[in-house]
Chains A and B, each alone.
Chain A
Amino acid sequence: MKETAALPAAASGVWVFAEQRAGIVQPISHELLARGRRLADARGAPLTSVLLGPAGDDGLREMIRRGADRVLHVADPALQDFLPEPYSAVTAHLVRERRPDIFIAGATTTGRTLMPLLAVLCHAGLTADCTQLEIDPATGELLQIRPAIGGNIMATIRTPLCRPQMATVRPRSMKPAPPDPGRAGEIERLTVPPELLRSRVRRVAFEPADDEGGGIQKAEVVVAAGRGLKKGANFDLVRRLARALNAGVGASRDAVDRGWIGYPHQVGLSGKTISPRLYFCAGISGSVQHLAGIKTAEHIIAVNLNPDAQIFKVADYGVVADLFELLPLLTEKLEARKKSARAPGTEGSG
Chain B
Amino acid sequence: MDIIVPIKQVPETSKVRMDPNTGVMIREGVESIINPLDLYAIEAALQLAEGCGGRTTALSMGPAKAEAAVREAIAMGCTEGVLLSHRSFAGSDTWATSFALSLAIRKRGAFDLILCGERATDGDTGQVGPGIAAWLGLPVVTYVSRILECGPRAVVVRRMIEEGYETLEAELPCVLTVVKEAAYPRLPTLRGKQRARAATVPVWGPEDIGAPAESLGLKGSPTRVVKVESPSLARHGDVRTPKDPAELERAVDGIVDYLERLGLT
Give A residues with C-beta under 8 Å from B: 21, 81, 84-85, 88, 108-110, 112-113, 115-117, 119-121, 123-129, 143-144, 147-162, 199-209, 214, 220-221, 245, 269, 277-278, 288, 291-292, 299-301, 307, 310, 312-321, 325-326, 329-330, 333-334, 337-338
Is B28 on the interface with A (CB-CB < 8 A)? no
Q: Are A329 and B223 in contact (CB under 8 A)?
A: no
Q: A113-B140, A207-B165, A312-B239 are in contact. Are A150 and B121 (CB under 8 A)?
A: yes
Q: A117-B140, A123-B222 are in contact. Are A317 and B254 (CB under 8 A)?
A: yes
Q: Residue among B125, B129, B240 with the most chain A CB within 10 A? A: B125
Q: Are A21 and B163 in contact (CB under 8 A)?
A: yes
Q: Are B225 and A329 in contact (CB under 8 A)?
A: no
Contact with A along B159-182 (1 / 0, CB 8 A): 111111111111100100000000
Query: Which of B93, B143, B160 makes the CB contact (< 8 A) with A125?
Result: B93
Min Cβ gap A275→B in Å is 15
Query: Which of chain B's residues 121-151 have a Cβ closer than 8 Å to chain A?
Result: 121-131, 133-135, 139-143
Q: Are B255 and A209 in contact (CB under 8 A)?
A: no
* Residue numbers in B under 8 Å from A149 (CB-CB): 11, 13, 16, 25, 122, 124
Q: Are B237 and A333 in contact (CB under 8 A)?
A: no
Complex Cα spacing A160 to B93, Å: 14
Query: Which of A121, A201, A245, A278 makes the CB contact (< 8 A) with B168?
Result: A201
Q: Are A319 and B251 in contact (CB under 8 A)?
A: yes
* Residue numbers in B under 8 Å from A325 (CB-CB): 248
Q: Return 9 A-B CB contacts under 8 Å, by A number.
A: A110-B161, A113-B140, A128-B94, A148-B228, A155-B228, A203-B166, A269-B124, A277-B262, A314-B234
* Residue numbers in B under 8 Å from A125 (CB-CB): 93, 95, 221-223
Q: Are A155 and B227 in contact (CB under 8 A)?
A: yes
* Residue numbers in A under 8 Å from B131 (CB-CB): 116-117, 119-120
Q: Are B231 and A202 in contact (CB under 8 A)?
A: no
Give 7 A-B pairs besides A156-B225, A299-B262, A317-B238 with Cβ atoms closer than 8 angstroms. Answer: A112-B142, A149-B124, A209-B164, A299-B258, A317-B254, A319-B254, A330-B252
Q: Are B228 and A154 in contact (CB under 8 A)?
A: yes
Give B residues with C-beta under 8 Å from A: 11, 13-14, 16, 18, 23, 25, 93-95, 98-99, 121-131, 133-135, 139-143, 156, 159-171, 174, 221-231, 233-242, 248-249, 251-256, 258-259, 262, 264-265
Q: Residue among B123, B168, B222, B224 with the most chain A CB within 10 A? A: B222
Complex Cα spacing A277 to B128, Å: 36
Q: Are A117 and B238 in contact (CB under 8 A)?
A: no
* Residue numbers in B under 8 Å from A147 (CB-CB): 124, 231
By secondary structure, the B interface counts as mixed
Complex Cα spacing A329 to B123, Å: 43
Closest A-B pairs by Cβ, 7 of them: A125-B222, A120-B134, A128-B125, A116-B127, A318-B239, A125-B223, A209-B164
Complex Cα spacing A333 to B254, Å: 12
Q: Are A317 and B16 in contact (CB under 8 A)?
A: no
Complex Cα spacing A317 to B143, Å: 38
| Closest Cβ neighbor of A120 among chain B residues | B134
Min Cβ gap B91→A in Å is 13
Complex Cα spacing A307 to B149, Å: 53
Q: Are A156 and B264 in contact (CB under 8 A)?
A: no
| Closest Cβ neighbor of B13 among chain A residues | A150
* Residue numbers in B under 8 Å from A156 (CB-CB): 225-229
* Residue numbers in B under 8 Å from A109 (CB-CB): 142-143, 159-162
Query: Which of B25, B168, B255 makes the CB contact (< 8 A) with A203?
Result: B168
Q: Are B124 and A152 in contact (CB under 8 A)?
A: no
Complex Cα spacing A159 to B127, Å: 16
Q: Are B23 and A329 in contact (CB under 8 A)?
A: no
Query: Which of A152, A201, A209, A321 makes the CB contact (< 8 A) with B169?
Result: A201
Q: Are B231 and A288 in contact (CB under 8 A)?
A: yes
Q: Are A245 and B264 in contact (CB under 8 A)?
A: yes
Q: Are A330 and B167 in contact (CB under 8 A)?
A: no
| Closest Cβ neighbor of B95 among chain A residues | A119
| Closest Cβ neighbor of A315 among chain B residues | B237
* Residue numbers in B under 8 Å from A117 (CB-CB): 130-131, 133-134, 140
